[in-house]
Structure 1
Amino acid sequence: MTVYDITRDLSEDAVLYPGDVRPRFREIDNGQYRVTEMTLGSHTGTHIDAPSHYIKGGLTVNEIPLAVLMGPARVLDCSDAGEVIEPDHLAGCIDGARTILLKTWFSGRREFEPGYPALSPEAADLIVEAGITCLGIDAPSIETYNGDGSVHCRLLGNGMVILELLDLSAVPEGSYFMVALPLRLKGVDGSPARAILWDREELI
C-alpha cells in the first residue's frame, strides 16, 4: 500500500505564519529517561482550524466528529493558480466530494511567503455550496495574507473543518483515503495534526 505522509515536520524552523508562536523544544534529562518540554501554538505546522477559530460558539477541536477527518478525499492540483485560487480552478472537480485537498506551488516550500496561494471569496462560496465538510491546503492559510477573515468565516461558519500547511508535493492529483487527527485539546480552536493519505483503490 502506498501511504503519503502529508504532514510537515514540526520543528523550530517550521514555516511560521507571522504572529504565531514559534515552536521551541527543550530536552530534559532525568537520568534514566528523557522528556521534552514543548512550546507550540494551536496552529503550528500542519494543523486543523476548528470552527471556533473564528466562530464564537463554534465547535472546538475536541468536538469535531472524527468521521469528518477520516474518509475519502480528493486532491486537486491548483499549482497554476498563482496567488489566488478562483472558482475556475475548482469548477467540475468538487462535485460529490466530501473532503478536498488543494495542492499548490507552495508545497515543499520551507519559508513563509506573503504571496502564498489562497482561496478567493467566490471560490469559498463554491466550496460551501458543494457541501464540502473538510478543506485542506498546503499553504500557511486558506485565506490571503491581507485577508479580512471573511473566507475563514464563510467556511468555518458553515461547520467546515480546515487543514492548513499540508505537504502535498509528492501526491498526484486523484482520489484517496485520508486520516488527519488532531490532539484532543479540550475547548481549543485548533491543533497540530498528523495527516496521511493512501490510494483508495488499494483498499479493495
Structure 2
Amino acid sequence: MTISAGTTESLSTGVWEGLSTLLAGRTFTDLTHAFHPGQPHFPAFPDEVRSNLFDLEAGDGFTAHQYTIVGQWGTHVDPPSHFIRSGRTLDNIPVQEMILPLVVLDISERVDADADATPSLADVEAWEKRHGRIPEDSFVALRSGWSSRWPDGEAMANRDSDGVSHTPGWSSAVLRFLVEERNIRAIGHEQTDTDPGQATSRSDFSLETYILAQGRWQIELLASLESLPEAGAAIVATWPKPQGGSGFPARVFAIH
C-alpha cells in the first residue's frame, strides 16, 4: 500500500491530537532521583567521577561533562542480561515496553513498623478487590516509603551492629504470582535491591535472579511513589541504548 505525504501528515496529526486530548489535565510525576557523586549505591561499585572537559565559567565556549559511572547508578534499569547469560540487553528491549499500565502495591505502613517487611499474596488480593485484576503486561511498583531516606547512604542501608542490612524487598510468592499468573512486564521499587536487606547481606539475590530470568526488566531506586494512585496510571521508563548494555541510569515518570 502506498501512503501519500498528505495522508502521512494526517495520520501523524491525528495521533498527536488524540494523545494531547488524553493528556490534558493529567498530572506528570517524576519518579527519578537526580544522580550525583557520593550518592547511595551497591557497596561493590565505585563512586561516580565527574569532570569538566569544557566549562563556560572557565572561559570555554561551552560546558561538557565527562561522567564515569557504573551502569547500575541511581534510579536505573536492570535488563535480564544483568544477571542472566544470553538475557536481553538494553538495546534489545523494544520501545513498546517503555510505556505500561502502572500498578502500585503499597506496604509503606508495614515498613514503618518493620523495616524487613515484604509484600504478601494478601496484599495482591486486596489490591485486586479494590481495582480488579492486575492488567497483563503491566509495571508493578512496590511502594515502601524507602525513598524518603535518599540520599542518606546509611539510612538507605539501615545496617545493625552486626552489619546486617534491614530493608524491605519483594517476596518470592508475590513475584511468582505476578509473573506466572498475571504476566506482568516489569517491576520497580524504592530500595537498592529486589531482595530484602537480610537476604542481600548474605549475598542472596535469588529474587532478582528470578525476575530477570523470566525475561522481565526492573527499575531500582524509584522516587515519589507516594504521589501516585494505586491503579489507573501509566508509567514511562526510558534509558539510553548502549549496545549489549547490562544497566543504565533511567528517567522514569508516571502520568495520572
Asked if Structure 1 and Structure 2 have the same fold, meaning a TM-score greater than 0.5 normalized by the shorter chain, the answer is yes
If each structure's helix is expressed as a fraction of its own residues, which one has the higher value?
A: 2
Q: Which residue, out of 216, 224, 231, partners 1:174?
A: 231
| 1:39-50 correspondence runs (5 A) | 39-50=68-79
* Change in CA separation of 1:85 and 1:37 when aligned onto 2, cut-off 3 Å: same
Deviation at 1:180, TM superposition (A): 0.5
TM-score normalized by the length of structure 1: 0.89
What is the match of residue 186 of structure 2? 134
What is the CA deviation profile of residues 44-82 of structure 1, one whole-angstrom value per residue up to 9, with x for unaligned ones?
Answer: 000111001111000001111222221221222121343
Q: How many angstroms does 1:96 deviate by? A: 3.1
Q: What displacement does 1:108 show?
A: 2.1
Percent sequence identity is 24
Verify: 1:90 aligned to 2:142, yes or no. Answer: no
Structure showing greater radius of gyration is 2
More deviation, 76-85/132-141: 76-85
- Would you tell me which structure has more strand in proportion to its own residues? 1
User: Matches of residues 21-60 of structure 1 in structure 2 within 5 Å?
Assistant: 21-29=46-54, 31-60=60-89
Q: Deviations over 1:114-142 (max 9, x none)?
A: 32210122222122222111111111111
1:10-159 alignment, distance < 5 Å: 10-29=35-54, 31-82=60-111, 83=116, 84-93=118-127, 95-97=133-135, 98-110=138-150, 111=152, 112-113=156-157, 114-129=165-180, 130-145=182-197, 146-147=199-200, 148-159=204-215
Does the 8 A contact of 1:61 with 1:186 survive in 2?
yes
CA contact (8 A) 1:60 1:188 kept: yes
Structure 2 length-normalised TM: 0.72
Contact 2:105 2:141 in 1 (8 A): yes
Instruction: Give me the whole-angstrom Cα distance separating, in 2, the residues matched to 1:60 and 1:21.
Output: 22
Which residues of structure 2 form unaligned runs of 5+? 1-25, 158-164
Runs of 4+ in 1 over 6 A off after TM superposition: none
Q: What is the rounded CA distance, in whole Å, between the counterparts of 1:189 and 1:17 in structure 2?
A: 15
Q: Give yes or no for the alignment of 1:193 onto 2:245.
A: no
Distance in 2 between residues matched to 1:142 and 1:123, nearest whole Å? 12
Aligned residue-pair number: 199
Gaps of 5+ in 1: 200-204
SS at 1:126 equivalent: helix
